[in-house]
Each structure stands twice: as structure tokens, then as C-alpha cells.
């Protein structure tokens, strides 16, 4: 007879014990009013039953941060009838888009940059922050003036210029992340070239993958042309990004548990519209 082994609650998890959307029979949780427990189980996510010293029985979702979890302190700010609509608005995916600008990347850099920025501006869910990484010799003041002429009112954008030719793009990305860590609550960042027009379905596919279908990813390899690299901000911070000339994806494989490989994707798996 095999010996019983109690389930393990992993460092990354969500406990439903104090969530206002937890459905209960007395002190025992039976489900979720957003149907997330059933969805996680169908996805093969490790959902375990737990209890506390007050005899509350509840679910713990391993390896996931449930975006829908809300507590009583949050609920005090909203009438009950607006709880679910408010959460549905709040869980729209927050991402930091970075556009790497090189004037030599195309013959008409101005038109291409405008097209790239407009494609992000017109997304169903625009980025919560856009950083234009200036790797050109064009003066920052001139570039800012040009960007101001582009009708992209949905974008909260900033320009960061790098003149050090010895600094590679990964190093520049690390500096951008560090510069904006107190400015944005992004879940991940994604990288595009300034000559690339982002497909119109990009943000809706991201929303569907991460929120509606409760999938998980810590890193996504870009397309063959370099567009679409996606990185989870928490894991970037944990491993200090690409510092010491080691790419973040290599650190994930080296220093995380074996299971992390399951959450390293190709961007096309998350966003089919990015297929070449």
C-alpha cells in the first residue's frame, strides 16, 4: 500500500479562500462564479483542495495568478451589481510594448514608424505603456516632434534613446524595464521593430490566450524576423533580465524547475495572426 503524500502548494499560486467570487456551501468552496476552477481543471492545471485553521475549505490553483480574484476590501468600493463587469474590464491584459527604432531599417522610416505606432494605437486593447527605443542617430527632440504629429491618442508613450553602439538590444530592453518598473503594472512586455505593422488581432488573441482560456507563458520566442518576443515581467525581474550577457530564456531553462519548459512558447502559439 502506497504512502499518502499531501499536495504541495507551490511558490506561485492563488488561494481562493478570501475571494468574493468563490461559490460556497457553508464553509466549503464548491466553485467559482467566473467558472475558472472548472476551466483550470480542464486545462490540466494543478488545482488542490485546502483548508485553514477556521475550517474553511477552498481551492488552491498552483502555478497561476488568477486575474479574477478579488477580496472584500476591493468589493467595498463597488456596488455588488458592478463587481463582475468591473473585473471584466480590469482583467483586460496589461502589456508594455517596445518598438525598436532604427532609421536604416527601412527606406521610408517615417511612414513605417507611423504605421507601426498606429497599429498599436488601434488594438482592441492598446498597450498600457509604449516605449520607442531610439537606436538611431536622429535627435530625440526631432523624433518626439514627429511622433507627436501621429494621431495615436490611445497610447501612453515615451521615447528612450541609446547612443552606445556596443549596447545590444537585450541590454537596451533591460534598461527600459528598469526605467519603467515604477511606472507600469504590465504583466509582460513584447518587442517589435519600427518597420513592423502589428496585426489588428494581436491584443484580442493575447486576451483570449491568457484571460479567457487561462493559459500561461513566461516567455515566447519571436518570429523569424525578430518581431513578437514576449517576456513575463515577474520572471524578467526575478532573473535580472538579460544581464551578464545571458538571455532571459536561457536563464529560465537553467535556473527554474524542469516544468518551466512547458511555459516557453513560440509567439505564434499565443497569437496566430503573427504567423509568417
The reported pLDDT for the residue numbered 236 is 97
The dihedral formed by the CA atoms of 273, 37, 96 and 241, expressed in degrees to the nearest 10: -110
- For 80, the grid coordinates are 455588488
178 shares a domain with 102: yes
173 shares a domain with 142: yes
118 shares a domain with 62: no
Angle, nearest 10°, between helix axes 140-148 and 109-121? 50
Q: Is 189 part of any domain?
A: yes
156 shares a domain with 208: yes
46 shares a domain with 103: no
Q: Is 23 part of any domain?
A: yes
156 shares a domain with 40: no
Last residue of a domain, one of 27, 51, 79: 79
The reported pLDDT for the residue numbered 8 is 87
CB hemisphere CA count around 83 (13 angstroms): 18
Compute CA distances 71 → 15, 16, 74, 230, whole Å: 11, 9, 5, 30
Number of domains in the chain: 2
Last residue of a domain, one of 26, 46, 79: 79
- DSSP-derived letter for residue 208 is I
Q: Is 1 part of any domain?
A: no
160 shares a domain with 206: yes
The reported pLDDT for the residue numbered 3 is 58
Q: Residue 72: which domain range? A: 13-79
Question: What mean pLDDT, rounded, does the chain reach?
Answer: 94
Q: Is 109 part of any domain?
A: yes
Rounded to two decimals, the pTM is 0.86
List, for residues 194-225, the tens digit of each pLDDT value. Answer: 999 999 999 999 999 999 998 989 999 999 99
List, for residues 227-252, the tens digit of each pLDDT value. Answer: 999 999 999 999 999 999 999 999 99
The reported pLDDT for the residue numbered 103 is 82
Q: Is 135 part of any domain?
A: yes
217 shares a domain with 155: yes
Say which CATH number the domain at 135 has. 3.90.550.10
pLDDT means per 10 residues, the chain with 276 residues, are 68 93 96 95 93 94 92 96 95 96 85 97 97 95 96 97 96 97 91 97 97 93 98 96 97 94 97 96
68 shares a domain with 110: no
247 shares a domain with 190: yes
Residue carrying C-alpha cell 509567439: 267
205 shares a domain with 137: yes
The reported pLDDT for the residue numbered 219 is 98
Q: Is 6 part of any domain?
A: no
Amino acid at each position: 500500500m502506497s504512502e499518502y503524500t499531501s499536495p504541495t502548494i507551490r511558490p506561485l499560486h492563488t488561494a481562493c479562500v478570501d475571494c468574493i467570487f468563490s461559490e460556497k456551501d457553508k464553509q466549503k468552496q464548491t466553485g467559482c462564479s467566473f467558472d475558472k476552477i472548472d476551466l483550470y481543471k480542464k486545462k490540466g492545471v494543478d488545482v488542490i483542495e485546502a483548508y485553514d485553521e477556521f475550517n474553511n475549505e477552498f481551492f488552491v490553483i498552483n502555478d497561476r495568478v488568477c486575474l479574477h480574484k478579488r477580496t472584500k476590501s476591493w468589493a467595498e468600493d463597488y456596488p455588488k451589481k458592478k463587481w463582475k463587469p468591473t473585473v471584466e474590464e480590469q482583467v483586460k491584459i496589461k502589456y508594455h510594448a517596445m518598438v525598436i527604432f532604427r532609421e536604416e531599417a527601412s527606406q521610408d522610416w517615417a511612414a513605417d514608424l507611423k504605421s507601426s505606432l498606429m497599429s498599436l494605437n488601434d488594438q482592441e486593447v492598446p498597450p498600457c505603456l509604449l516605449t520607442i527605443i531610439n537606436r538611431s542617430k536622429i535627435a530625440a527632440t526631432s523624433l518626439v516632434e514627429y511622433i507627436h504629429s501621429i494621431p495615436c491618442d490611445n497610447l501612453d508613450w515615451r521615447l528612450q534613446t541609446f547612443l552606445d553602439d556596443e549596447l545590444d538590444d537585450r541590454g537596451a530592453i533591460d534598461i527600459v524595464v528598469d526605467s519603467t518598473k515604477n511606472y507600469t503594472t504590465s504583466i509582460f512586455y513584447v518587442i517589435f521593430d519600427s518597420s513592423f505593422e502589428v496585426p489588428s488581432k494581436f491584443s484580442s488573441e493575447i486576451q483570449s490566450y491568457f484571460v479567457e482560456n487561462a493559459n500561461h507563458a513566461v516567455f515566447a520566442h519571436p518570429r523569424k524576423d525578430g518581431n513578437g518576443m514576449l517576456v513575463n515581467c515577474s520572471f524578467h525581474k526575478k532573473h535580472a533580465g538579460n544581464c551578464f550577457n545571458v538571455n532571459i530564456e536561457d536563464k529560465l531553462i537553467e535556473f527554474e524547475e524542469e516544468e518551466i519548459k512547458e511555459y516557453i512558447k513560440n509567439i505564434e502559439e499565443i497569437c496566430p495572426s503573427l504567423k509568417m
